[in-house]
Amino acid sequence: MSVRKLKPITPAQRFRVVNGFDAITTDKPEKSLLAPLKKSGGRNSQGKMTMRYIGGGHKRKYRLIDFKRNKTGAEATVESIQYDPNRTAFIALIKYSDGEKSYIIAQNGLKVGQTVVSGASVAPEIGNAMPLSDIPLGTIISCIELHPGQGAVMARSAGAFAQLMARDGKFATVKLPSGETRLILVTCMATIGAVSNSDHQLIVSGKAGRSRWLGRRPRTRPVVMNPVDHPMGGGEGRASGGHPRSRKGIPAKGYRTRSKTKASNKYIIERRKK
């Protein structure tokens, strides 16, 4: 993993930092694992705008990722590491011994030619998926299920990882990327290793146009709106905007919005850091 700083031959390139893509081995995706991806422009099924500042962007095809890793015991060889426009992490194309191909989230250090396997009695090596009951304590893990058979939902973005802290009965204690420590059933699957492309956080767009390529439209700051449009709008001259809050009036910056009666509260040992 590396990043490149461009020479300042244009104003946009002066501050731009791009991904080195040295981990990528091919620029051609597997056609059988592509699906169409329609843009919504922030509109719902009735055509009403429900999310602002979304629209445009480069056309994409969705890559069908295997988040469940439920083909247990079957060895697969890593054919290539690829870029995925729909996520921050890199993806790996794997081929099983029976000829079936699949995409998985690539872990840091996963190499072409390496063998990966999922199941209960496999070695805890990078890229292997196994239940939390069989992973050694203290191991760095990613792509974690929250419910057995659901498929990975946690620690899936670039550079993300969690740590298996302890096991007690049918629950395992996992420290998540947010800093939260919570209980997860030991029958849930997780993948060994941290997610690839850890340098993603160092990337600098350099210009507003690159946000447009990604489908993000310009965002109006609440403090420059009128009082009819936002609680922080209005005032004579350059008003500070008052207490920071959302468009619907919910306070921001530290105000807790999580329900006190939420069912999953009993599984959280330590809340995430503020």
Span 17-56, pLDDT tens digits: 999 999 999 999 999 999 999 999 999 999 999 999 999 9
**Total number of domains in the chain:** 2
Indicate whether 14 pLDDT > 70.
yes
Q: What is the pLDDT of residue 273?
A: 77
Longest Cα–Cα distance of the chain, Å, equals: 71
Question: Is there a single domain that holds both residue 178 and residue 266?
Answer: no
Domain membership flag for residue 262? yes
Burial 179-195 (b: 16+ CB within 10 A, else e): ebbbbbbbebbbbbbbb
Indicate whether 102 pLDDT > 90.
yes
Question: Is there a single domain that holds both residue 145 and residue 191?
Answer: yes
Question: Is there a single domain that holds both residue 139 and residue 8?
Answer: yes
Please name every residue paired with 91 in a beta bridge, in sequence order, or none if there are none. Answer: 82, 105
Question: Is there a single domain that holds both residue 106 and residue 232?
Answer: no
Give the DSSP letter string of 73-137.
T--EEEEEEE--TTSSS-EEEEEETTS-EEEEEPBTT--TT-EE-BSTTS---TT-EEETTTSPT
Indicate whether 115 pLDDT > 90.
yes
Its domain, for residue 229, covers 223-274
Question: Is there a single domain that holds both residue 192 and residue 230?
Answer: no
Domain membership flag for residue 213? no
Question: Is there a single domain that holds both residue 38 and residue 125?
Answer: yes
Question: Is there a single domain that holds both residue 54 and residue 20?
Answer: yes
Question: Is there a single domain that holds both residue 60 and residue 192?
Answer: yes
Residue with the larger pLDDT of the pair 162 and 121: 162
Question: Is there a single domain that holds both residue 176 and residue 236?
Answer: no
User: Burial, 253: exposed, middle or buried (Cβ in 10 Å; 0-12, 13-18, 19+)?
Assistant: exposed
